[in-house]
Amino acid sequence: MRSPFPGMDPFLEAPDIWPDVHTELISSMRSELTSILSPHFIVTIEQRLIVSEEETPPVGAIIPDLAVVTPARPGVTAPLDAGYTAPTLIEPLPEPEVRERFIEIRDARTRRVVTIIELLSPANKTPGAPSATAFERKRAVVFESRTNWIEIDLLRAGARFTATAGKSDYCVLLKRATDYRYEVWFIDLRDPLPTILVPTTVEFGVVTLNLQQVFETAYARARYGDWVDYSAPVPPPPLPPADAAWVRERVQRWLAAKATQSAEG
Q: How far is the C-alpha of 168 from the C-alpha of 211, rounded, in Å?
A: 17
Asked if residue 47 has pLDDT above 90, the reply is no
Asked if residue 91 has pLDDT above 80, the reply is no
Output the average pLDDT for the chain: 86
What percentage of the chain has pLDDT greater than the value 70? 80
Task: Give the pTM.
Answer: 0.82
How many angstroms separate the Cα of 191 from the Cα of each of 168, 170, 202, 235?
11, 10, 32, 18
Q: How far is the C-alpha of 78 from the C-alpha of 61, rounded, in Å?
A: 39
How many angstroms separate the Cα of 4 from the Cα of each of 10, 146, 152, 190, 230?
10, 40, 21, 11, 9
Coil, strand or helix at 225 = helix
Mean pLDDT of 79-108: 67
Q: C-alpha angle with apex 143: 141 to 148, nearest 5 degrees? A: 115
**Range name among 152-161, 217-226, 229-238, 253-262 with the lowest pLDDT average:** 253-262
C-alpha distance across the termini of the chain, in Å = 13
**8, burial (CB in 10 Å: exposed 0-12, middle 13-18, buried 19+):** buried
**Range name among 1-5, 86-90, 157-161 with the lowest pLDDT average:** 86-90
CB 169 within 8 A of CB 160: no
Q: How many residues does the chain have?
A: 265
Confidence of residue 231 (pLDDT cuts 50, 70, 90): very high
pLDDT score of 264: 78
pLDDT score of 90: 56
pLDDT score of 62: 35
Over residues 150-204, the pLDDT tens digits come to: 999 999 999 999 999 999 999 999 999 999 999 999 999 999 999 999 999 999 9
CB 74 within 8 A of CB 80: no
